[in-house]
Amino acid sequence: MQHKLVIDTSRRETRIALLEDGRLVEVFTERELGGDVGNFYRGRVTRVLPALQSAFLDIGLERDGFLGWDDVMLTPEQRKKGLRRIEDVLKNDTPILVQMAKEPRGHKGCRLTTKFSIPGRYLVLLPGTNRVMVSKKIVREKEHKRLKEIVTPLRKPGTGFIIRTVSEGISKSELCQDAKYLLRLWEMAQAEFKKGKKPQLLLQELGVVPRVLRDKWTKTCNEIIVDSQEIRVQVLDTLSLMAPRTPLRKIVKLYEGTGSPFVGMGIEESIAQALSKKVSLQSGGYLLFEEVESLTVVDVNSGRLTRGENIEEIALKTNLEAAEKIAHHMRLRNFGGIIIVDFINLSSKREQEKVLKEFRKHTKADRLVTDISGFSDFGIVQVCRERTRETITKTFTVECPNCQGAGRLPKYRDTGSA
C-alpha cells in the first residue's frame, strides 16, 4: 500500500491529507490539531463531587475541566494507604498537575487526566507506571524481544514506555534519543508545575505539521507534497530528526500545479463527499449517515437492487460492500463513541459472519481502538470506536443559524391571516 501526505496552506489554516493508494483516509487541520489535547496544565481543584466520583478543575481556560476517578493515577504512597475514593485524594483549592485528554465539546468543559502519556516518534512515555509494553502489531518474537531489551534500561523509576509500531527495525541510538527527549519533556512539566500555584498552561503539544509527521509518517510513505518552500523546509527539518538516514529530498516535493493542491488533487471533492449524509454504493445501494451528540447511526439500503430475483444474495452483496465503505468513512469522518449500523436483514448466521469478517478486516488499518459487536436479533451491529478528535462534520461546517442543524422547514406555515 502506498501512502502519501499532502500539506495545503492556501487557506487561512494549514490542512494535511493522508492518502492510501490515492484514496483520502484522514484529514487534519490546524484549527483541530492546533488544539489543546496533550497539553499539561497546573490545575486548581474547584469542586469535588463524591456522589459522581469526579472533580472540576480550573486550568486557566474559560470553562473548568472535568477529572473522573477513572482518570486519576494514584501515587505509590496513596496505593499503600488503600485510597479508593476521589474525595480522599483531591481537596478543594489544591494545585494538581493534569493533562488534557479531550477538548471541550458543546457546553461541556475539557476532560482531564493524571494518567499521563507523552508521545514521541518511536516511544510513548508513561509517567506513573513501571512497565515497558510493545505494540501488538510487532509480531516477530525476535524483534519484540530486541526492542524490549533496548528500551527497558532507558526508563527512570516511576516511568514506563510503549514501544510504537514504527520502532520495528529502528537502531538503539535512535530509540535512546527519543527516550531522552521524552524524559526531558516530563522533567520540564514537573519543574514548571513547582514554580507556582496559579492555574495555567505548562507544556504545549507540537504544531500541526510536526505532530502529523510524528504520528502518521512512516517509511512506507512514498511522497509528501507541500505547496510552499517554507513548509518544505519545515518538513525536511522535522523529518531529518526523525529519520536521519532517509533520503528525504526525494520524498518531500513541491506541488507542481497551480492553486491549491487540495483542489488540484481532488482532495477537496473527497472532503465534500465525506460531508454528505448520503453515500452511494457501486452495487446500486446507498448509505445514510446521521450524527447526533452521543452516537452515529448508519443505515444500509439496497436501493434499486430490491427488484432482483434473489433478495438474500442481493442483501449479502450490498452488506459486504457497505462494510468496507463504512469502515473507510468511520476513519475519514472520524466517528467516535457508539456507532449503530443497520445492515440489510440477513436470515443466515453464516452470511452474517461473512459481513462481520469483512467489516473487521477493513477496520484493521485504523490505528484507533475499534470494537465491533455481533448482529443483534434486529440485524443491528454496534461499533465502539475510540474518540480522539471532532468529526469531520464539526471540523469543516457550522450549524445553520436558521434551522439549528435540523436541515428541515415546516411543511405548512400559519401566516396568522383570517
Residues of the chain with pLDDT under 70: 31-35, 106, 244-245, 304-309, 412-418
Three-state DSSP at 21 gives: coil
Q: Count how many Cα atoms sit within 13 Å of the Cα of residue 99 in the half-sphere of its side chain.
A: 21
Q: Three cell numbers at 233? A: 523546509
User: Which residue spans within 30-179 are E strands per DSSP?
Assistant: 40-49, 54-58, 65-68, 95-102, 111-113, 118-119, 123-127, 132-134, 159-163
Q: Whole-angstrom Cα distance, residue 399 to residue 386? A: 24
Helix axes 208-216 and 229-242, enclosed angle (nearest 10): 40
- DSSP string covering 369-404: -EEEEEE-TTSEEEEEE---S--HHHHH----TTTT
At residue 207, the pLDDT reads: 81
Q: Whole-angstrom Cα distance, residue 26 to residue 218? A: 15
Picking from 303, 299, 302, 281, the residue whose alpha carbon sits closest to that of residue 290 is 299
pTM: 0.74
Q: Three cell numbers at 258? A: 497551480
At residue 417, the pLDDT reads: 53
Q: Whole-angstrom Cα distance, residue 373 to residue 355? A: 12
- Which letter does DSSP use for residue 368 in this model? S
301: Cβ contacts below 8 Å, ≥ 6 apart: 285, 286, 287, 288, 344
At residue 416, the pLDDT reads: 56
Phi-psi sector, 164: left (phi>0), alpha (psi -120 to 50), beta: beta
At residue 408, the pLDDT reads: 74
**β 380-385/286-291 pair status:** unpaired
Q: Whole-angstrom Cα distance, residue 144 to residue 162? A: 12
3-state helix, strand, coil in the chain (%, to 5): 35, 25, 40
Return the CATH number of the domain spanning residue range 118-203: 3.30.230.10
- DSSP string covering 223-255: EEEESSHHHHHHHHHHHHHH-TTS-GGGTEEE-
Three-state DSSP at 315 gives: helix
At residue 163, the pLDDT reads: 95
* Fold of the domain spanning 40-113: OB fold (Dihydrolipoamide Acetyltransferase, E2P) (2.40.50)
Q: Whole-angstrom Cα distance, residue 242 to residue 192? A: 27
Q: Whole-angstrom Cα distance, residue 186 to residue 127? A: 8
Q: Whole-angstrom Cα distance, residue 100 to residue 184? A: 19
The count of other CB atoms within 10 Å of the CB of residue 150 is: 20
* Domain extents in the chain: 3-34+207-269, 40-113, 118-203, 276-396
Q: Whole-angstrom Cα distance, residue 413 to residue 418? A: 13
Picking from 335, 331, 321, 319, the residue whose alpha carbon sits closest to that of residue 365 is 331
Return the CATH number of the domain spanning residue range 3-34+207-269: 3.30.420
Three-state DSSP at 163 gives: strand
Q: What is the pLDDT of residues 309-322, one digit of tens each?
A: 578 888 899 999 99
Picking from 41, 55, 93, 66, the residue whose alpha carbon sits closest to that of residue 200 is 41
